[in-house]
Amino acid sequence: MRAELNLRPLAIALAVAMALAAATVIVVAVSLPAYAAEATPPVLVPVSERTWMDTSLGADRRAELALKAMTQQEKLSWVKGWFGSDFGDKKRNPAALPFSAGYIPGTPRLGLPALFETDAGLGVATQATKTPRERTSLPSGLATTATWDRKVAYNGGAMIGTEARASGFNVMLAGGVNLLREPRNGRNFEYAGEDPLLAATMVAQQVKGIQSNHVIATMKHFAVNDQETGRFILDSRIGDADNRMSDLLAFQLVLEQSDPGSVMCAYNRLNGAYACESDYLLNQVLKKDWGYKGYVMSDWGAVHSTVAAANNGLDQESAWEFDKSAYFGAALEEAVANGHVPQARLDNMVFRILRAMFDKGVVDHPVAEGGAIDFAAHGVVSRTDAEESMVLLKNTGGLLPLKAGAKKIVVIGAHADVGVLAGGGSSLVYPVGGSAVTGIGPATWPGPVVFHPSSPLKAIQARAPGASVVYHDGVDAAAAARAAADADVVLVFAQQWVGESVDAVSLSLPDNQDALIAAVAKANPKTVVVLETGGPVLMPWLGQSAAVLQAWYAGTSGGEAIARVLFGEVNPSGRLPATFPVSASQLPRPVLDGDPKDESKRFDVNYHEGAAVGYKWFDLKGLKPLFPFGHGLSYTQFAYSGLAASQKDGKLQLRFKVTNTGALKGKDVPQLYVAPQGVKWEAPKRLAGWDKVELAPGETKEVSVSVDPRLLAMFDSRSKTWRIAKGGYKVLLAHDAADTGAASITVQLPQRVLDVAGKAGK
């Protein structure tokens, strides 16, 4: 059993311990007496008397009634969670699902089920390396965002929520929406890119899909946890207005659009305070300004105090074993008893948890382990997501789609003979049948490096029956180039593995893959590069390769999806959800802050770019990226016309027409950007809306988009209002954020002031 221990706890515990040692944290009450016995032992409440089970009542009332029936000990049990595995010398709570992320005991006396928690955004993960659950994995979150397709995101969420339920889980720790400020961030693949509107819209759809299964989803990591290096000790520095218009806006929009039952506060500090004890973040912004009614759970090992955390808005300590002390155990009981934490606060903590359980259907639709999973159908959901996510970055001379009649196709590198790469860490979904490649990368968490056993090579071979399709592992670049020289077409696969807790050391492809691609492309100009990366990478060989397909981490059916796009069974329609820089020198922080080898020294990450994230930064500084945000080619072409604007109930409405001017059916993502004329924003323009439309050759469709007024406003911290300045605003209808030929009109907007929630106010 010992050998089966997940090494992740150790990795995290070590880092947390080092961080704590460095952080001079005051540890509250490490050895307090065990819970005092209840004065009157609680009795089972007969089913007929469980008024909170009346489904005709609202979630608020039901939570209120259930709370009233609880003893103090029962209340306390709801705010202290357990990890789903042994942790050092702490044994797993036997009631937790083995190797799961977390467990919160229920109150059976009152008919209230326990909470069983699983990671995360790509599917049902397992916190173990030897005996994992094998489940369906979606492509990375960044890939799903690259579909720009709301329905695809919803379907993916609904699918993984079904698997969570069938696996006995009623809480999914999915809903990651940290903005891509740092292209090297090791968790970018779990998130949704650099633009708050795009990221929030896509994550909200996923959350809705998950919650359609009566499973609570978890928006995370709140907030500004935008790099992994030093995540336990770093202090994210950013002003309130800048934050409200960037990272916080993404969270705010997810809440409004999907109402996740829980929110996970992050590891890092924000402007000095730990996120899980930040009155500003939890009480002021989340609960007061945004009116959030769900509960706040901590990230695993992110709690640093009892009184401050409880009073500043944390509702549940997720895995007490990860924290320096069981802060929400006996210490909290004592703090309530002596008045440092008001009883009303404890009641509110529990109320919020119960309310989410009633509201999302967790109580009325109890979960059980061992449900049937339709892996074939779920594989198609994942494949569709992957296909829609792939971004054709370059396609010189129409090399793609691959034509019938090729005699020799050479496939090189990235284990493309057997599978597609997955990102590492808590979100890893172990593949059905096991990893296609074993024994590489970090042996311990956030490893292992896993490949989903969906072979691009086999899928390519199946589509080229008359051709010789051969594989070369690419380890020896010169040999690979020789093998490629006489091929009709060469497909070089390149990979970049990243994972939770580790940022990419640089934006360059690792392991000499740049040299491999350059050598192969030199030997054969008909070279297509397929990228399996966590996020943006540099491409020094771009000028030499004929075509580049960004395939991200493509999930359970990735190999099949890649082949279908390469052969034109699917017309690529993904668009970049993040800017690809030419070099790291173009970034706000050319060098990543912190030292990945030394997690003991606290440091600040100064987000001096404020709300000018991604393409906004590039616009502001007049920088030309390698590939702009929103970029993506198709095997057909699209033209835009008839851009017009109107204003209804104070809302800007835009409409226009898209025509497929090429010869193939395809999908386009027309994008609307707004650029103020006389007014200064954080950057020259912002994404204001988009749609994804499918068009037959020659077909035209009309699209209309309504613009969230906050995207036309600046946030004013003093008055806590969104302010639209009177003046002219240029609306651009564009193929991407750098589209110089974009159609445009200028609209005149009156001055408007909106309240903190973006509603028409004064």
Give the three-class secondary structure for 188: helix
Q: Measured from the CB of residue 426, what is the shortest distance to ligand BGC in angstroms?
A: 4
Q: Which is nearer to ligand BGC, 23 or 57 (CB)?
A: 23
Burial class of residue 570 in the structure, from the number of CB atoms within 10 Å of its CB (0-12 exposed, 13-18 middle, 19+ buried): buried
CA dist 685 and 315 (Å) reads 38
Among 53, 63, 69, 101, binds ligand BGC (CB under 6 A): 101
Q: Measured from the CB of residue 173, what is the shortest distance to ligand BGC in angstroms?
A: 4
Identity of the amino acid at 520: V
CA dist 452 and 432 (Å) reads 8
Total number of residues that touch ligand BGC (CB under 6 A): 8
Q: Measured from the CB of residue 350, what is the shortest distance to ligand BGC in angstroms?
A: 22
> Site mask, ligand BGC, residues 215-244, x = CB under 6 A?
-----x------------------------
Q: Measured from the CB of residue 124, what is the shortest distance to ligand BGC in angstroms?
A: 12
Cβ(187)–Cβ(227) below 8 Å: no
Q: Measured from the CB of residue 133, what is the shortest distance to ligand BGC in angstroms?
A: 14
Q: Which is nearer to ligand BGC, 123 or 401 (CB)?
A: 123
For residue 395, what are the contacts with CB-CB under 8 A and spacing of at least 6? 546, 547, 633, 635
Among 120, 363, 633, 674, binds ligand BGC (CB under 6 A): 120
CA dist 500 and 504 (Å) reads 10
Kindly list the strands in the beta sheet with 700-707, ordered across the sheet, starting from the edge strand earlier in the chain: 638-648, 651-660, 700-707
Tokens coding 122: 């790509």
Residues 36-75 that bind ligand BGC (CB under 6 A): none
CA dist 427 and 106 (Å) reads 25
CA dist 184 and 182 (Å) reads 5
Q: Which is nearer to ligand BGC, 247 or 417 (CB)?
A: 247
- The DSSP line for 243-303 is HHTTHHHHHHHHHHHH--SEEEEPSSEETTEEGGG-HIIIIIIIIIIS---SEEEE-TT--
Q: Measured from the CB of residue 655, what is the shortest distance to ligand BGC in angstroms?
A: 40
Identity of the amino acid at 228: E
Residues 588-607 that bind ligand BGC (CB under 6 A): none
Q: Strand pairing partners for 733?
A: 672, 743
Q: Measured from the CB of residue 300, what is the shortest distance to ligand BGC in angstroms?
A: 4
First to last CA, the chain: 63
CA dist 457 and 229 (Å) reads 35
Q: Which is nearer to ligand BGC, 299 or 417 (CB)?
A: 299
Residues 144-173 that bind ligand BGC (CB under 6 A): 173
Cβ(149)–Cβ(394) below 8 Å: no
Strands 721-724 and 468-472: unpaired
The verdict on 691 binding ligand BGC (CB under 6 A) reads no
> Site mask, ligand BGC, residues 269-308, x = CB under 6 A?
------------------------------xx--------
CA dist 475 and 181 (Å) reads 33
Q: Which is nearer to ligand BGC, 103 or 618 (CB)?
A: 103
Q: Which is nearer to ligand BGC, 126 or 325 (CB)?
A: 126
Among 74, 119, 277, 619, binds ligand BGC (CB under 6 A): 119
Q: Which is nearer to ligand BGC, 111 or 424 (CB)?
A: 424
Q: Measured from the CB of residue 363, what is the shortest distance to ligand BGC in angstroms?
A: 23
Q: Categorise residue 339: left if φ over 0, alpha if ψ from -120 to 50, beta otherwise.
A: left
Q: Which is nearer to ligand BGC, 299 or 691 (CB)?
A: 299
Q: Report which DSSP code applies to 754.
A: E
Q: Measured from the CB of residue 262, what is the shortest distance to ligand BGC in angstroms?
A: 11
CA distances 475 to 199, 421, 439, 518, 610, Å, are 37, 17, 16, 14, 42
Residues 313-372 that bind ligand BGC (CB under 6 A): none
Q: Which is nearer to ligand BGC, 8 or 181 (CB)?
A: 8
CA dist 209 and 599 (Å) reads 37
- CA-CA-CA-CA dihedral for 49, 50, 51, 57, to nearest 10: -150
CA 312 to chain centre: 26
Kindly calculate the radius of gyration of the chain based on its CA atoms and give it in whole angstroms.
26
Tokens coding 460: 């390519």
Q: Which is nearer to ligand BGC, 450 or 494 (CB)?
A: 450
Active-site positions read 299
Q: Measured from the CB of residue 299, what is the shortest distance to ligand BGC in angstroms?
A: 5
Residues 390-429 that bind ligand BGC (CB under 6 A): 426
CA distances 706 to 154, 353, 400, 668, 688, Å, are 20, 34, 35, 18, 8
Give the footprint of ligand BGC on this chain (CB under 6 A).
101, 119-120, 173, 220, 299-300, 426
